[in-house]
């Protein structure tokens, strides 16, 4: 699947990427968010080969992002569902889609998907919010600081980036 893993790297982003696996894993998660559940539906949606799809489903299951449930015994067939962990990671799907829409990377003349509040039907969006004040922030307002789980490499990244910004 990939030549070099992220083992030993203290990075939440690398950890999520490792759990997802690759672009196919991300597209399978997208399809699960959309409501697809079955192997052939994933195949039809993505065009991925059988071998790749089987491998990615196993990878997502091993990383506890999805679980499979048998819906037929003869022949044996399964449906796939997001786990609690998978739902948390899948929450980035609307963000990725809306960024793609803003940057017009899909080539569509308009957003292919619309995200709405299930209860009200109102459009939803993503953004940064100050936890104390509730104020919505722009990306330029975001600062990144060392967290309690940081290691030497995290501290190096932050200090190196800070030095570059001071120049």
Most confident of 3-12, 53-62, 126-135: 53-62
Q: b vs e for 114-130, b when ≥16 Cβ sit within 10 Å of the residue's Cβ?
A: eeeeeeeeeeeeeeeee
Task: For residue 39, give every residue at least 6 positions away whose Cβ sits within 8 Å of its Cβ, in sequence order, or none.
Answer: 53, 57, 77, 78, 80
81 with 69: CB under 8 angstroms?
Answer: yes
Query: Averaged over 105-110, what is the pLDDT?
Result: 87
Please identify which residue in the block is written with the tokens 């999805």. Answer: 66
Residues of the chain with pLDDT > 70, as a percent, come to 97
pLDDT digits (tens, 9 = 90+) for 45-83: 999 999 999 999 999 999 999 999 999 999 999 999 999
> Lowest-pLDDT range, 12-21, 44-53, 158-167?
158-167
Q: Where are the beta strands (DSSP E) in 15-65?
A: none
Query: Which residue from 121, 122, 84, 116 is spatially nearest to 98, judged by alpha carbons?
Result: 116
CA 52 from centre of chain: 19
Q: Does domain 12-90 have CATH number 1.10.10.10?
A: yes
- Asked if residue 139 has pLDDT above 60, the reply is yes
Which residue has better confidence, 6 or 36? Answer: 36
User: Domain spans of the chain?
Assistant: 12-90, 128-166
Q: List the structure tokens of 3.
A: 């030549």
Q: Report how far residue 98's alpha carbon sits from residue 85's, in angstroms, rounded to the nearest whole number.
A: 22
- Asked if residue 1 has pLDDT above 70, the reply is no
Residue 59: Cβ-neighbour burial (10 angstroms; 0-12, 13-18, 19+): buried
CA 84 from centre of chain: 13
> Lowest-pLDDT range, 7-11, 66-70, 79-83, 109-113?
7-11
């Amino acid at each position: 699947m990939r030549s070099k893993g992220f083992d030993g790297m203290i990075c939440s982003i690398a950890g999520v990427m490792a759990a997802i696996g690759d672009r196919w894993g991300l597209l399978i998660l997208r399809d699960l968010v959309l409501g697809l559940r079955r192997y052939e539906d994933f195949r039809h949606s993505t065009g991925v080969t059988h071998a790749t799809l089987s491998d990615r489903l196993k990878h997502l299951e091993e990383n506890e992002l999805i679980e499979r449930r048998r819906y037929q015994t003869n022949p044996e067939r399964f449906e796939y569902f997001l786990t609690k962990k998978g739902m948390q990671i899948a929450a980035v799907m609307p963000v990725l889609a809306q960024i793609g829409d803003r940057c017009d990377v899909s080539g569509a003349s308009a957003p292919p998907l619309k995200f709405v509040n299930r209860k009200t039907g109102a459009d939803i969006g993503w953004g940064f919010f100050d936890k104390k004040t509730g104020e919505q922030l722009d990306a330029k307002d975001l600062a990144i600081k060392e967290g309690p789980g940081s290691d030497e490499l995290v501290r190096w990244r932050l200090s190196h980036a800070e030095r570059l910004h001071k120049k």
